[in-house]
Chain A
Amino acid sequence: RKEVEQDPGPFNVPEGATVAFNCTYSNSASQSFFWYRQDCRKEPKLLMSVYSSGNEDGRFTAQLNRASQYISLLIRDSKLSDSATYLCVVNSYNQGGKLIFGQGTELSVKP
């Protein structure tokens, strides 16, 4: 089993749609969680951290469920510019603290 697994993509949605991505992680001792965004042929960039209480940044909402070991990202009112690959990232301190990426979920927002 992979340490971090994401919904297989791609997701093709119309502008204005709401879309949700899920990610599961295998190490129950994981401490930190993030969503990164990667545009085509570009490097990944931090989108947002994920906190236990859930957090929101504009149209983006991240949730963490420690009991079920999954993380979600909700994008409301999708824009064309949201088209990218979304990467789930987990940090496990009992494994030395390295950051592990999921395989990514591709989102394509159409007019």
Chain B
Amino acid sequence: DTGVSQDPRHKITKRGQNVTFRCDPISEHNRLYWYRQTLGQGPEFLTYFQNEAQLEKSRLLSDRFSAERPKGSFSTLEIQRTEQGDSAMYLCASSIDRGRDEKLFFGSGTQLSVL
């Protein structure tokens, strides 16, 4: 399977716990995005990387959220001290930066439930 891979598919945690998600992009893709999606809404931009550089982090993202892409390949998204409002689907997508023709390929997502 050469698509975008996310792990785990589902995560149930208690409020206050830390969680970490992993994303493995398509191997030749230099861009990697994290989005969050709740029911009835479109994917909300969280952050993105070009190779290992984090280009932008959404203003909506609190300091409890951090993402890394240490070698420009896989990425991790960590949420510290989870809150019930963090419950959502966390989607990872990768692309090749082709300027105006950039197309995203998504993973299946990690569904987070905070109890």
Contacts and interface: CB of A to CB of B under 8 A. Distances in A.
Most-contacted residue by chain B among A46, A87, A101 (CB, 10 A): A101
A58 B7 CA distance: 36
A31 B35 CA distance: 21
Contacts, number: 59
A87 B43 CA distance: 9
Interface string B27-47: 000000101000011111100
B42 A101 contact: yes
Interface stretch (A11-19, A59-67, A71-79, A92-100): A92-100
Interface in B49-100: 55-56, 91, 97, 99-100
A59 to B, nearest CB: 21
A99 B106 contact: no
A34 interface: yes
Interface size class of A (residues with CB under 8 A): 20 to 34
Most-contacted residue by chain B among A6, A36, A46, A99 (CB, 10 A): A99
Given A43-B91, A49-B101, A91-B100, A98 B35 contact: no
Interface of A: 4, 6, 31-32, 34, 36, 42-46, 49, 87, 89, 91, 93, 95-104
Interface of B: 33, 35, 40-45, 48, 55-56, 91, 97, 99-104, 106-109
